[in-house]
Amino acid sequence: MLRRHFVAALGVSAALPASAQEWPARQIKVVIPYPPGGPTDISTRIVMEKVGRLLGQPILFDNKGGASGMIGAEYAKNQPADGYTFLATTIAMMAITRHLQPIPFDPDRDFLTVARMSTSWGAVAIHPSVPAQTMAEFIAYAKANPGKVNFGSSGLGTITQLYGEMLNLEAGIKLVHVPYKGSAQATQDLLGGQVQVQFDSTVLPHILAGRLRGLAIIADTRWPHKPDMPTLRETGYGKQGGESWFGILAPAGTSPAIVARMTRAIEQALQSPDVLDRLDKGGVKPTYLDPAAMRAQIDTESRYFADIIKRGNVKTQ
């Protein structure tokens, strides 16, 4: 009987690739396909630094920004699927950009989902000169002034543009899109009154300070720092989701055992009080999803944004 158990144990061990049994035996690289200092970079580092400590190996962060994340994604796709290269990703990379332009990877085949880690808080904010205190009043004002209300975004084809396009379609209004080279620039012009509304996370500190008026939080739940502000869904819009989230992918072909270990480490990291505190200070909340749930979310959001892009005739140039 002991011999049978011993042989069975050997069989289970032999079923796993040697690389999976030994993993991780050295430093793990996480490719961040955006420049340092942005929300993807910051939130990924907070979580994955903890993951490295849990796994007993350091994490090397490799920022390869450019082309809306496509440069970093293509690089990661072409790395060995040995469990030592992972890719930080966003809703835009997996569910939006594919419907706007040719991209150098297949979001459904070239990567395995590992885990969704976190989601940015965002808000609908208006300049104080706009005569509206609620979303309903803002919609009424926009309907009475078609083509005269401008909304700023972080750039063409970004989720911050698609929020505005979504509201145009759902509310039957005509907000005019003004793209910027980043969210910060758009917020500065919102503060100056050059644009009247923005859908972004960069508006949050200005809402708290009273410089901008917050109409709704773009999230599943209310923002703890201003619980009197309703969610966008509570105002009757954005019911199909589309929050700005951050996750981790692995090149296709990576051992399922390695992916499972990384998934568990990310889930554990997101339960750590110090990680939760740092995420909160960065304007991000933990929204863990396992590989299957993350893939299902991507599929749903890809269909949702494809419809918005088609109906709104959204272009990248």
User: Of 5 and 302, which is predicted with more confidence?
Assistant: 302
Q: Rounded to whole angstroms, how far apart are CA atoms 31 and 64?
A: 7
% of the chain with per-residue pLDDT over 90:
73
Pick the CATH number of 122-218 from 3.30.379.10, 3.10.450.50, 3.40.50.970, 3.40.190.10: 3.40.190.10
Q: What pLDDT score does 242 carry?
A: 75
Q: Evaluate whether 26-120+243-311 and 122-218 have a shared fold.
A: yes
Residues 314/100, Cβ–Cβ less than 8 Å: yes
Window from 11-20, 42-51, 180-189 with minimum mean pLDDT:
11-20
Among 18-27, 75-84, 190-199, 280-289, the least confident range? 18-27
Match domain 26-120+243-311 to its CATH number in 1.25.40.10, 3.30.2350.10, 2.60.60.20, 3.40.190.150: 3.40.190.150
pTM: 0.83
Average pLDDT over residues 165-174: 94
Residue type at 86 in one-letter notation: F
Mean pLDDT of 47-71: 93
Domain positions in the chain are 26-120+243-311, 122-218
The residues, ordered by sequence, that sit 6+ positions from 267 with a Cβ below 8 Å of its Cβ are 115, 288, 290
